[in-house]
Structure 1
Amino acid sequence: MNGSHLSVVVDLSPSQWHLSSLHQPYPLDLRSFVSQLLAFLNAHIASRHENSLAVFGAFPGKSVLLYSSANPPTETPPSDANSFPSFKMVDSTMMHNIVQQLDSLNQDSVEEGLSCTFSLSNNISPSFSTIRLDINRLTLEFNASTANATEGLEPLTLSDPRVLILSVSPDQTASYIPVMNSIFSAQKLKVTIDACQIYGPETVFLQQAAHLTGGSYIYLERRDALLQYLTMTFLPPPSVRHTISVPTQDKIDFRAACFCHKNIVDVGFVCSVCLSSFTKFPIKTLQRLNAARPSLPLASASQSRNPSAPSTPMKTDGRASATPFRSGETPLGPGGLPHSGNINVNGTPHTNGAKNGLGSSG
């Protein structure tokens, strides 16, 4: 069995974590969250020597690589006899980068005259681009090393690449299209997406991401047991999850976001070409397209199908009439007399007999 690669996207929105620390009955602040997250990351590294790790921080307006086992920091932390060197490397690197990014956000807020608790929701879609590049690079490196080791045999693929999203922010409907494109890219790369909503309302996008890629989605009700959720649900790789009991989604919200208004809609209009959802159908666009459509005379179209048929005005239901009439009026037969039966193409009445070929005698 090959090693498993885990990419973690951590929502580090300061305003949302401030609200999470005040939420009762299970408050969870950022310091306690990072402590439990580091324990989970160390457990992933300790599970197998070949396991690899990449952690991305989703800050307001940007995505930052906090740690990557493929590119470890050049400066090693001070040696400690009471800690494993690999664990010490992950802990010190991530804490240093998180503190540095938060300090830069606070400095930008002070310079712009904004409050440090300014409500900003994160945007995780920029992290997916970096994750895809990272997985492609690791796959190429793994294939190259495997090809050299197996002396020309068919190279294997990177085992169990997966993404874990830890979110505390609500959905951003404006990023619906980038998020869905990222989900489709993960499907093509056979990357499993797991999601955990720690604080805030349930997210539609993360539910769909986990469902479409075969991952797990969890909404935390007991945030004081975060480490237990992470260890029991997201620590096992996808290849062994079929042998253990992993929590699954009870319900999945498949609603889409409106392409024009960026709102999640229950009922809307879907374009038959691009499959975009709309809250209200653009009637002006329909009128413009209808006006630009070339119109063909009904008589000419009928004669082109049947040259022997006379030029007779046609109803919308395909029957001929001597004179046009509105819905609900009695059609007129030959000579202008009312006629209650059907009208043949040549303008003469007929009955529903079998001899005219238009109906059955029964």
Structure 2
Amino acid sequence: MDVHAFDFELPESLIAQTPLLDRTASRLLTLKKQTGEISHQRFEQLADYVEAGDLLVMNDTRVIPARLFGVKKDTGAKVEILLLKPVGEDRWEALVKPGKRMKQGAVVVFGVEAGSMERPLLSAEVLEVGDMGARVLQFSYSGIFNEILDKLGQMPLPPYIKEQLPEKERYQTVYAKHEGSAAAPTAGLHFTETYLERLRSKGVQIAFVTLHVGLGTFRPVSVDTVEEHQMHAEYYVLSPETAALINETKAKGKRVIAVGTTSARTLETAAGLSRKQGETSGTQDACFEIEASQGWTSIFIYPGYKFQVVDVLLTNFHLPKSTLLMLISALAGQEHVMEAYHQAVREQYRFFSFGDAMLIY
């Protein structure tokens, strides 16, 4: 399938640079996946589209302040580091700029204004050199790593956001719990505790998965055909409690509503593993049950994929030719999705991380 089938013109003025003061004040475009019917609502009207017994599944990952600024210990040259994922004890895969300065064995120090080159708050040695600025770093410090990171690090905002956030918590969901993401699961940014309670009072159940979002989610697709693209790997956890709620919801004929593409990818990954372990038919049937699992996923969902768990998806508006746009096209059809996006541009919806929401049902 041609990647250009997922391209569209997006005026730069529609890329939301800052979040709205009220999380629930965003707009909501709804898309019926079977018919392509589109309507324009406010996010607060989401409650009108869910029913008692439906299950909302949310990603409770927490973004870490993963952008660090330091200097090379031997020369004092400035270095920027972006943590991507842990790969061992105090060991991280990271992007380093400028990469050419950071050979194997090079040491970067951070927080030297509070000490000296010899006794920094934090230091990192390059253990391995990868492609495109990627490095494996071994960190050394005294104290608690996450506390030092909170002190020295900055929020790793996506490359299309040019303004700094006035407060770090605005790039977290209100239910963020497990630290490990380099980017927020942005569909969840629209919810407040009050709105979640409103949904619960309507009889909607809420469950959580964890998927630590990597910056690969923003990398453009650089091949011409969809099938050639290689996805990045991200760590996920689906608990026994959430698996049980999903199975109970399905057994009652109710819907599983994924909040965000990260939740959707987690659910479909776990479903695929459950099928491999317990089913041989290759198609969903009445006795299929999802099982708890955790590990690394590089699942790539694009048109032709048959969803096994997700019935409804709440998501933000995505980049042209992105894997996330391909994922939602798998759920609602490429033509329906692209028409919805063209309407969103005409109606001047706000796009990307701090933008408006879309409900595919």
TM-score when normalising by structure 1: 0.27
- As a proportion of its length, which structure holds more strand? 2
Greater gyration radius? 1
TM-score normalised to the size of structure 2?
A: 0.27
